[in-house]
Amino acid sequence: MVENIAGKFEKAMKKGFISTLALMVLEKEPMHGRQIKKAIEDRTLGGWEPTDSTIYTILKDLRENNLIKPIQAPGADEKTITYEITDDGKNTLEIMIKKEQEIRESMRSIITSTFGVKDELSSAELNELLDQGPSLVRMAHTPEGETLQVLEFQRIFLKKRIEVLNQKLQKVEDKISNLDE
């Protein structure tokens, strides 16, 4: 039951993120579904690999909400639908970027309190890591040359998390040992 509920939350979050990313890539240039899918995979360093059915469901939703519209691209066959972002889509994207930044600020406090990172890093170090971190906005707009910076952040953050989790694991192991004696 709990896994089912968590799965529904995850699905809704991914749909929202992928919708935002689709608008971001269409803001740069018109594309068809396969191009949008590839652009999302590339710009998120494989962090988001939407299925074909997910992409086309999202494109249908975006189209029904007048956020994108089909166009006839020069040289494209009649079966290939190319999409471009509408003015409503651009306005929605602007709002979504602001919302993502607000959510990111909220997540900063959750990460520091829940995962115990704050205890191991100074406030300045933590703020620097979180500010450089891979937000969806940053990942979608990251030029190829900055990919290394995103990966470096992920490596540092994950190493720190592993260290913190190993310390917590050791405390649990010690408690188990004390109870066994």
- DSSP 8-state code for residue 81: P
Confidence at residue 44, expressed as pLDDT on a 0 to 100 scale: 76
Domain residues for the domain of 81 are 2-180
Name residues whose C-beta falls within 8 Å of residue 112's C-beta, 6 or more positions apart in sequence. Answer: 118, 126
Q: State residue 116's pLDDT score.
A: 57
Q: Is residue 78 a contact partner of residue 91, using CB atoms and an 8 Å limit? A: no
CA distance 140 to 134: 9
- What is the predicted pLDDT for the residue at 127? 54
Beta-strand relationship, 31-32 and 68-71:
unpaired
Task: Give the β-pairing of 82-85 and 31-32.
Answer: antiparallel
Q: Count of domains in the chain? A: 1
What is the C-alpha to C-alpha distance for residues 3 and 13, in angstroms, rounded to an integer? Answer: 15
Q: What's the pLDDT score for residue 171? A: 86
Per-residue pLDDT of the chain (181 residues; tens, 9 = 90+): 778 887 787 777 777 788 988 999 999 999 999 999 999 888 777 777 888 998 999 999 999 999 999 998 777 777 889 999 999 999 999 998 888 778 877 877 776 666 555 555 555 555 555 554 545 555 555 555 456 766 776 677 778 778 878 888 888 888 888 888 7
Please name which of 36, 99, 42, 35 lies closest in space to residue 62, comparing C-alpha atoms. Answer: 36
Q: Mapping DSSP to helix (H, G, I), strand (E, B) and coil, where does residue 31 land?
A: strand
CATH number of the domain residue 154 falls in: 1.10.10.10
Which pLDDT does position 29 carry in this prediction? Answer: 92
SS3 83: strand
In three-state secondary structure terms, 32 is strand
Give this prediction's pTM. Answer: 0.62
